[in-house]
Structure 1
Amino acid sequence: MKNYCLMTDATAELTPELAQELDVVVLPMPLDLDGKAYQFTSFDDKLSAHDFYDHLRAGKSAHTSQINEATYMEYFEKYLQQGIDILYLCFSSGLSNTYCAACRCAEELRRKYPERTLECVDTLCASAGEGLLVYTCANMRKSGTPLEEVKQWAYDHRDTVCQCFKVDELEHLRRGGRISTTTAVIGSALQIKPILVVNHEGKLEVVAKARGRKRARDYLLQIIEKHLLNTPENDTIFIGHGDTLEEAQSLAADIQKNLPQIKRTIIVPIGPIVGTHVGPGMMDLLFYGTDRMCRLR
């Protein structure tokens, strides 16, 4: 089998331990926190997820931007120069222009290194949903599956990744233009917690609204019980959290009690890149399912 490298970006929410386990290269993404610039990955010991959410709670502003082409050229060429092919699983094109930038760089580098393979996959996934797809593909690579087959598997199965999450604070969605100011004010007053998914186009979409945190959490539990696919790769699921580890652990315990076919639940902190847009208290549930839109009816 030809040697190749699997890459993804910081939005996949892979912890350093998980990235090392999977042998995945994680590209940093730009973050501006109250005027201070970061190139963030979970390996960054200058800014933990917990500290980032404390900054948001204190009223500090955060902004993100796409990976620039210079970063892509640096990371891609490092491996191509060593004779190593690359499969890059990218953040959804429905939420960022990152994929387009990666494709431009890949096209240029294919001309420079015609004997090498460099493939970019638009996962149409975000956050730990992207992480789940990367996790499966990385294990396929470790078992000896060739690059082209892993790439095709990702394209064939990306639409089965269910990415359902609840948001605790509406202000961050308002800032990002996902909801109106009126909706944010009324929703906050009524303790409305929107339930969102990443839809078939890789964009965010509100699919339900729950009154209070417990009902929002229960919605996630009902979704996986209803839509979990009975396939080999579904023995592992992801739960992501915005600095609410105990709540994530509680959800994981209930899922594993109700769905014993799940052998591993990977709980990851939602990092600053996604956290900027959803705020503290966010929790998402990621699995391969029968309905990407995560409908209960």
Structure 2
Amino acid sequence: MLVKILADSATDLSMNHYNEFDIEMVPLTVHLDEKEYKDNVEIQPKTVYDAMRQGKSPKTSQVSPETFHNLFTTYAEKNEPLVYLAFSSELSGTYQTAKMMLLEVKETYPDAPIDVVDTKCASIGYGLVVLYAAKAAKNGASAEDIIQSAQYHATHMEHIFTVDDLEYLYRGGRVSKTAAFVGSLLKIKPILHVENGKLVPLEKIRGSKKLFNRMLDIMEERGTDFTNQLIGISHGDDFERAEQLSSLIQERFGTAKEDIVIEMVGSVIGAHSGPGTIALFFLNSSPK
């Protein structure tokens, strides 16, 4: 029996990916205009970005305990193997909720072949970890091998990203009001990364022209074997710049266009990073 891979909507993968690799998805929740929406099911990122451009502040919340309990029970009753690869526990409570619900389900079904793994990853970085695992599952890998593979890819997955407006990070508590104000005045573009699952400022670049070159310098410093891995790019409703970054990667590292996954930053992460975000994901040569 093949192992089923479960992920949540913070992978920022398209429904095409979920369908192609038979990945099950549970949606986080987006709160906008006093209504609740299931991410990537009842609301799409473009709606969230347009609302943010109008000055609105969408909120997000984790997957409900009931959703996990019902899903895990379904797999436990059938004794079907399931591996849930979760959005970073440092950015959402979804992983902890899943662990608690799995413990509850295992009180009734102690031998249920269900595992929950904290990827410590986000957006397409998380999505790439899930894709690697889903491909292994499709090829008949065991749950143990899938988990080991996922942990390896998660540990080595770099997240390098920038935002168009520091105001959105300020609202999310990532930078101070003063830093956001001064940064906007000076046209400073921050480069951030993910360290142990948390968003951490890395550098500040003045002027957008230098930005992509510096991101690629960091990629070259940290990464390895760019012609033999999937590269991820996600964008906050700015496909043109994402394509530009993709072209630069192809020119500089010889990566094939088909090995670069470009997707929009989803509603949940986009609600905190804002329109114009550009993020780059690749495997590094040493654990992050």
TM-score by length of 2: 0.94
C-alpha distance in structure 1 between counterparts of 2:126 and 2:178, whole Å: 32
Contact 2:2 2:137 in 1 (8 A): no
Q: Tell me, what secondary structure is at the counterpart of 1:137?
A: helix
Aligned to 1:182: 178
1:286 pairs with 2:281: yes
Contact 2:9 2:26 in 1 (8 A): yes
Aligned to 2:51: 55
TM-score by length of 1: 0.91
Contact 1:11 1:91 in 2 (8 A): yes
Aligned to 1:258: 252
180-189 or 258-267: bigger deviation:
258-267
- Written as runs of structure 1 = structure 2, the 5 A alignment for 1:140-155 is 140-155=136-151
2:209 corresponds to which of 209, 214, 231: 214
Aligned to 1:37: 36
**1:32-61 superposed Cα distances (whole Å, 9 cap, x missing partner):** 0121211212xx2x4322222111101112
Contact 1:164 1:195 in 2 (8 A): yes
64-73 or 178-187: bigger deviation:
64-73
Contact 2:14 2:263 in 1 (8 A): yes
C-alpha distance in structure 1 between counterparts of 2:123 and 2:247, whole Å: 22
- Written as runs of structure 1 = structure 2, the 5 A alignment for 1:183-202 is 183-199=179-195, 201-202=196-197
- Written as runs of structure 1 = structure 2, the 5 A alignment for 1:1-297 is 2-41=1-40, 44=41, 46-199=42-195, 201-230=196-225, 234-262=228-256, 264-290=259-285
**1:49-83 superposed Cα distances (whole Å, 9 cap, x missing partner):** 22221111011120111212111112222333333
Q: Which runs of 5+ in 2 are unaligned?
A: none
C-alpha distance in structure 2 between counterparts of 1:238 and 1:157, whole Å: 13
- Say how many residue pairs are matched: 287
C-alpha distance in structure 1 between counterparts of 2:211 and 2:38, whole Å: 33
Q: CA RMSD in A?
A: 1.7
Q: Which runs of 5+ in 1 are unaligned?
A: none
Contact 1:163 1:292 in 2 (8 A): no
Contact 1:166 1:217 in 2 (8 A): no
Identity %: 36
Q: Tell me, what secondary structure is at the counterpart of 2:78?
A: coil
